[in-house]
Amino acid sequence: MSETEKRKQRTLAAETWRRFKKNRLAFAGMIVLICLVLIALSTIVIDLVTDKAIYDAYVIKQNLRMRLQGPSKEHIFGLDEFGRDIFMRMIWAVRYSLFMGTIAIALSTIAGGLLGSLAGYYGKVTDNVIMRFMDVLLAIPSMLLATAIVAALGTSLTNVLIAIAISYVPTFARTVRASVLTIKDQEYIEAARALGASDSRILFKYILPNSMAPLIVQATLGVAGAILSIAGLSFLGLGIQPPTPEWGSMLSSARAYIREGWHITVIPGLGIMITILSLNVMGDGLRDALDPRLKK
Amino acid sequence: MAKYIVRRLVMMIPVLIGVTFIVFFIMSLTPGDPAAIILGDQASAETLALKRIELGLDKPLLVRYATYMGNLVKGDLGRSYRNQISVASQVWDKFPNTAILAIAGILVALLIGIPIGILSAKKQYTAMDNSAMVLSLVGVSMPNFWLGLLLSLFFALKLGWLPSQGMGRGFWPLLRSLILPALTLGTGAAATVVRMTRSSMLEVIRQDYISTARAKGITEKQITKKHMLKNALIPIVTAVGLQFGQLLGGAMLTETIFSWPGLGRLMVDSITSKDIPMVLGSVIFMAVMFSFVNLLVDILYAFLDPRIKSQYKRSPSRRGVDV
């Protein structure tokens, strides 16, 4: 088989993967994220198997005599203001940030994607009604909107998820609408219609799969934003409540003891930053890999 | 031009009505009885019922919204549950402090972002460019409240150079107390501005008219300023305008960290004390401010790019629709 034939046989996904692999920074970001996902999954498994025994004994249990001790051999990240091991809390916190961010963005991708494709595909009144509503949501800065929703509904995990998801819907609606608009006038859509395909078939089988690329990139970067918002809300005391370990709320309680130990402030922030950084470089890498023309 | 501005102002009205309605609706979902919040636990059922009628809570949502809007047009945002002081006066009281902080934050973003972005683009793929790109990635990924904590840990507590709490009175104390919050607020935006400036400079840097300008013997400084930056400015201004919204959200966090007496902190305090009219009023106020900044950005385009201005002159309707 000649080289050109081989290249032709690659699917879009394979081609994207080939280009993505070459970007070392993005690849490193992906590896970090895979590690984080594995950590999060294993903490969930450990909790299930041990019936939260480890969680209760090492993550939640206070030991006031040892409070605010700096990093040492036994506790590599030191102890927090209640004498809890920061390393264990950091590990157990991964799942909240990572999975909540992902779930929130998944929700808004579905909602935004649906609204955006309806608006783009049907145009006219549908488009106008949906997009004007999105404009209104966009006119409220997203962190502000999320805060208002949490303030009204109360602080619980679900409400934080809903708040973040709603505040990201307009972004996704806009992205999908824009790509649907460029695709719907292509010849193959016309061909599908001529063959008698229904609207929903055209939308879900032909248009949406072809408008996935920008959506995937937007979603990756969106998860980064969502994690930041969750941490921010928790920092304000409106997100995940103590003693549940979450990076933002760990920072929030560390604030009062900022004079007494640097490690309790520095380490949770590093956790957030590394996660967001990996998502950002991976998102940038994905964008370049999916659309090499954009690369500069 | 004036026609365009008026047009945009008129177009803002439905958006603002929508914004107020959504925020009003969200806040009306708050559980708990406002009358009980105001009067406390000891109040009898009778006084509670009277208070509810006084607050108009016996009426349907739409009627309450209409009353609220009627008052809002007159500049009345209701009264705070906590201290019965008018919401509007408290918001106006705190707004200048947030505005000072936001403007300082934007200045930080521009002063750091644009020069580094230009240098990065002109020296693409050098060590300088690479380190600027890595730093800006870190800047975008850093939670700004964490940066704030680190700054106050280092500059206020360790070195003792700058105050970490409150807002100074008088010019110099104010400036000193402004440095850390402004850096906190502006750094994330600066990182975005660096990336935006770099990519939009790279777009113009290889254009033919740049070679022409060079061939004419214009100095490199002049080329950068008049030929490159001027053409690269529109995406940068857009990015800065959008960052302003983030800044308003970030102000809540920054003001909390540095005890800055602004709108953001007022809002956070009101949320904790379930002071619904205060939260409602401050969210609406900030959303309106954000809309005005966006309008300002759109108007600024016309001044930056004469092509856009001449477009309105010929057919104002063409642009008005899809801006």
Evaluate whether A121 touches A180 at the Cβ level (below 8 Å). yes
pLDDT above 90: percentage of residues in chain B: 9
Out of A141, A143, A255, closest to residue B149 by CB: A255
CA distance A3 to chain B (A): 31
B242-300 pLDDT, tens digit per residue, is 788 778 778 889 999 998 998 988 988 888 888 888 888 888 888 888 888 888 888 88
Check whether B321 has a pLDDT greater than 50: no
Q: Taking 70 as the threshold, does the pLDDT of residue A292 lie above it?
A: no
Residues in chain B: 323
- Let me know how many helices (H) and strands (E) chain A has, helices first: 14, 0
Size of interface A-B (CB pairs under 8 A): 135
Residue of B nearest to A230 (CA): B143
Mean pLDDT value across chain A: 85
Distance from CA of A159 to the nearest CA of B (A): 12
Q: Which residue of B has its CA nearest to A154?
A: B30
Over residues B42-95, the pLDDT tens digits come to: 778 888 888 888 777 778 888 888 888 888 888 888 888 777 888 888 899 899
Q: Give A98 to chain B, closest Cα distance, Å.
A: 15
**Cα separation, A231 vs B144, whole angstroms:** 11
Q: What is the pLDDT of residue B318?
A: 44
Q: Using a CB–CB cutoff of 8 Å, tell me whether A258 touches chain B.
A: yes
What angle (nearest 5°) sits at the alpha carbon of residue B301, between those of residues B221 and B210?
30
Q: CA of B175, closest CA in chain A: separation in Å?
A: 24
Whole-number pLDDT of residue A275: 93
Q: What pLDDT, on a 0 to 100 scale, did the predictor assign at position B322?
A: 41
Residue among A147, A251, A277 minimizing CB distance to B146: A251
Q: For A226-244, what is each residue's pLDDT tens digit?
A: 999 999 999 888 888 878 8
Res A218: pLDDT: 87
Tens digit of each residue's pLDDT (9 = 90 or more) over A67-95? 777 777 777 787 777 778 888 888 888 98
CB contact under 8 A, B141 and A269: no
Q: Do A136 and B15 touch (CB under 8 A)?
A: yes
pLDDT of residue A7: 57
Is A269 in Cβ contact with B279 (below 8 Å)?
A: no
Question: Hey, are the CB atoms on A147 and B26 less than 8 Å from each other?
Answer: no
For residue B317, the model assigns a pLDDT of 45
Structure tokens, B82: 């906590």
State whether residue A6 sits within 8 Å of chain B by CB: no
CB contact under 8 A, A232 and B26: no
Touching check for A294 and chain B: CB below 8 Å? Answer: no
* Summary mean pLDDT of chain B: 84
Reported as type and span, the H/E element at residue B8 is: helix B2-28
DSSP code string of A106-171: HHHHHHHHHHHHHHHHH-HHHHHHHHHHHHHHHTS-HHHHHHHHHHHH-S-HHHHHHHHHHHHHHH
Query: Which one of A11-20, B149-158, B165-174, B241-250 scores highest in mean pLDDT?
Result: B149-158
- Within A195-236, where are the H helices? 199-201, 208-210, 212-235
Query: Chain A interface, mutation test: which of B15, B24, B26, most A Cβ atoms within 10 Å?
Result: B26
Mean pLDDT of B145-154: 90
| Smallest Cα distance from B137 to chain A, Å | 7
Is A132 in CB contact (< 8 Å) with chain B?
Answer: yes
Q: What is the pLDDT of residue A4?
A: 57
Question: Closest to A151 (Cβ–Cβ): which among B153, B250, B279?
Answer: B279
Question: Which residues have a Cβ under 8 Å from the Cβ of A25 and sit 6 or more positions away?
Answer: A281, A285
Q: How confident is the model at residue A200 (pLDDT cuts 50, 70, 90)?
A: confident
pTM comes to 0.85
The yes-or-no verdict on residue A6 having pLDDT over 60 is no
* Subunit contact A136:B22, Cβ cutoff 8 A: yes
Q: How distant is the Cα of B17 from the closest Cα of chain A, in angstroms?
A: 9
Average pLDDT in the B209-222 region?
87
Residue with tokens 């958006």: B15
A248 touches chain B (CB under 8 A): yes
Measured CA to CA in angstroms, residue B81 lies from A270, B18, B56, B110 at distances of 39, 25, 14, 40
Whether the pLDDT of residue A106 is over 90: the answer is yes
Query: Are B141 and A151 inside 8 Å of each other by CB?
Result: no
Whether residue B239 has pLDDT greater than 70 = yes
Q: How close B245 comes to chain A (CA, Å)? A: 5
Q: Out of A142, A236, A272, whose CB is closest to B253?
A: A236
More confident of the two residues A54 and B118? B118
pLDDT of residue B213: 87
* Range of lowest pLDDT (A144-153, A189-198, B245-254): B245-254
Q: Check pLDDT > 60 for residue A120.
A: yes
At B288, list the tokens.
């309106």
Q: Which of B26-30, B56-60, B206-210 comes out lowest in average pLDDT?
A: B56-60
Cβ–Cβ below 8 Å for B22 and A140? yes
pLDDT, tens only, A42-56: 998 988 888 887 777
> Which residues, other chains included, contact A147 with Cβ-Cβ below 8 Å and sequence gap of 6+?
A163, A233, A236, A238, B249, B252, B267, B271, B283
- A269/B contact by beta carbon, under 8 A: yes
- Judge: B248–A141 Cβ closer than 8 Å, yes or no: yes
pLDDT of residue B310: 66
